[in-house]
A and B are shown apart, each in its own frame.
Chain A
Amino acid sequence: MATEAAVHHETENEKGAWDGGKQPFKVSYGKLMMWYFLLSDAFTFSGFLIAYGALRFSMPTWPVPDFVFKTAPFNNIGLGHGVDLPLIFVTFMSFLLIISSVTMVRAVQEGHRENKNGVVFWMLLTIVGGLGFLGCQAWEWTNLIGTEHMTMTTNPFGTHTESGAYLNEDGSVSDETFEMGDSYLIHKVSAHGHGGEAHAGDDYSEGSHEGGDHGEAHGFTPAQTAPGNYAGYEITDKGYILRKYRILDGDLAGRTATQEFGPKAFGALFFFITGFHGFHVFSGVVFLIIIMLNAASGLYVKRKNGYEMVEKIGLYWHFVDLVWVFVFLVFYLL
């Protein structure tokens, strides 16, 4: 508990090093243990992120983040259809966490001055920042799952390994070409909020222009919606449309090939690691609310230890920001 008091106590009595009552690291037990908890948590996150790296290195192609994460809320209404905003939304999320980290530092500073209202005010702003981040993440996940149809085991974000041209509905070669390394998103029949497969035939072409349309497949509206192998495309049992294309260069030039799903591990890694981080943010917000209410009730005034509880939750909150630096690095920047 009281750091200063213990230090004074030790100098007054001139106790030996092994007589107890001495804090070798000059911090309280609670703060020291918070540091060690964070160290163990850092290793957990490192394990996940290193697994992500190893799997990413083991694949010939990997979805590029500036293609996967280029949507943002209100993109289709406010900025017109089809405007790409690569990484912009997730940069905004990063700013939310940085700002909430700064407000947390302010809360700790006010705690040192034993300023109750200051602590509560800055903690409240921190909680708002944390909730904002969680809201953004909820939107990001909803978009990936609902609009782009990414799941734990299906990754619709693929990469072309040769250049070629897509086939038309009837199997003839179209003028829609792509280069090696270009990304594509595999669409689903009756996608974008049209309410089930049964509705697909009616006004599908209109429906497919809404939502997160991106990639070369943009605007391709097959006449068939039942699973099967057609002249210009294939529809899987789950309704994903795999377009066929003519390869235009390399050893296999002239052959016809079908789009493939991207590396399977991507979805599971993304949802698990960002989900684990989001869970840390969520539990952080819960603890922040509890400690803010305690501070507001005057509980820590009586302890007269510079609001040490606020300092401890502050360490945890900064750690959540610290982990995001690396999640941001490997999932979005590289």
Chain B
Amino acid sequence: MSDHRSYEESIKAVYKGLVLLGVVTLVEVAFSLFGKGHIFPSLAENYRWPVIIASLVILILSLYKAYFIIYEFMHMKYEVSGLSKTVLLPCVLLIWAIIAFFWEGNDWNKRRSLIEKKNNETVDEKTEPQMGSDVRILKEEDFQ
């Protein structure tokens, strides 16, 4: 522990942290409700940008909350860099996991809609050629 603040200072810092986390949470909820159309409903109904902006802001604020909890409350700020690196750097792997799995999930969705669309297709047997009906054995004259 290399936290050299005085007792009074560190108590003050704790209550500042409480107010900070509380306000950030309230802002997050407000943005979430804005994106879902509970605040200014006409915007969220007619445009797509409110939900995109709200999601981005919420994501950044959540990461900030996580940073604050780890660095201030869990005292990561005051540990030696070796310790913080061995704990935090492995988490970088998660970035790849998130990209890969969300990409995959999105693909499942696309494939699902494609299959659904194909299942709903109706084929008129009289006018449309059946699968395989245009297949024939090639003869010598086809190549001339």
List the count of A-B residue pairs having beta carbons below 8 Å apart.
137
Q: Which residue of B lies closest to A94 (CB)?
A: B25
Q: Across the interface, do A53 and B36 meet the contact criterion of CB distance under 8 Å?
A: no
B62-90 vs A, CB cutoff 8 Å, 1 = contact: the mask equals: 10011001100110000110110011001
The CA of A326 and the CA of B64, in the complex, are separated in Å by: 11
Q: Across the interface, do B94 and A46 meet the contact criterion of CB distance under 8 Å?
A: yes
Interface residues on A, range: 35 or more
Task: Say yes or no: is B91 at the interface (Cβ < 8 Å to chain A).
Answer: yes
The CA of A27 and the CA of B22, in the complex, are separated in Å by: 31
Say whether, besides A325-B69, A333-B32, A58 and B106 are in contact (CB < 8 Å).
Answer: yes
Q: Across the interface, do B102 and A27 meet the contact criterion of CB distance under 8 Å?
A: no
Chain B residues whose C-beta falls within 8 Å of the C-beta of A321 in the assembled complex? 69, 73
Task: Say yes or no: is B18 at the interface (Cβ < 8 Å to chain A).
Answer: yes
The CA of A87 and the CA of B82, in the complex, are separated in Å by: 40
Task: Say yes or no: is A59 at the interface (Cβ < 8 Å to chain B).
Answer: yes
Q: Which of A96-104, A234-242, A274-282 contacts B (4 or more CB under 8 A)?
A: A96-104
The CA of A50 and the CA of B80, in the complex, are separated in Å by: 30
**Could you tell me the dominant secondary structure of chain A's interface residues?**
helix
Q: Which of A35-43, A150-158, A192-200, A211-219 contacts B (4 or more CB under 8 A)?
A: A35-43
The CA of A39 and the CA of B65, in the complex, are separated in Å by: 17
Task: Say yes or no: is B137 at the interface (Cβ < 8 Å to chain A).
Answer: no
Q: Across the interface, do B59 and A36 meet the contact criterion of CB distance under 8 Å?
A: no
Task: Say yes or no: is A144 at the interface (Cβ < 8 Å to chain B).
Answer: no
Task: Say yes or no: is A18 at the interface (Cβ < 8 Å to chain B).
Answer: no
The CA of A56 and the CA of B18, in the complex, are separated in Å by: 33
From residue 48 to 66 of chain B, which have CB atoms closer than 8 A to chain A? 55, 58-59, 62, 65-66
Interface residues on B, range: 35 or more
Q: Across the interface, do A334 and B101 meet the contact criterion of CB distance under 8 Å?
A: no
**Residue of B32, B73, B113 contacting most chain A CB atoms (<10 Å):** B73
Say whether, besides A102-B17, A329-B59, A55 and B105 are in contact (CB < 8 Å).
Answer: yes
Q: Which residue of B lies closest to A40 (CB)?
A: B90
The CA of A326 and the CA of B73, in the complex, are separated in Å by: 17
Given contact pairs A66-B32, A314-B74, enumerate 4 new A-B contacts (beta carbons under 8 Å).
A57-B109, A333-B28, A333-B62, A334-B58
Chain B residues in contact with chain A, CB under 8 A?
A: 1-2, 7, 10-11, 14-15, 17-18, 21-22, 25-26, 28-29, 31-33, 36, 38, 55, 58-59, 62, 65-66, 69-70, 73-74, 79-80, 82-83, 86-87, 90-91, 94, 97-98, 101-102, 104-106, 108-109, 112-113
Chain A residues in contact with chain B, CB under 8 A?
A: 3, 24-27, 32, 35-36, 38-39, 42-43, 46, 50-51, 53-60, 64-66, 86-87, 91, 94-95, 98-99, 101-102, 104-106, 109, 112-113, 306, 314-315, 318-319, 321-322, 325-326, 328-329, 332-334
**Can you list 9 contacts pairing A with B, beta carbon distance less than 8 Å?**
A24-B80, A36-B87, A54-B104, A57-B102, A58-B109, A87-B29, A94-B25, A101-B73, A325-B69
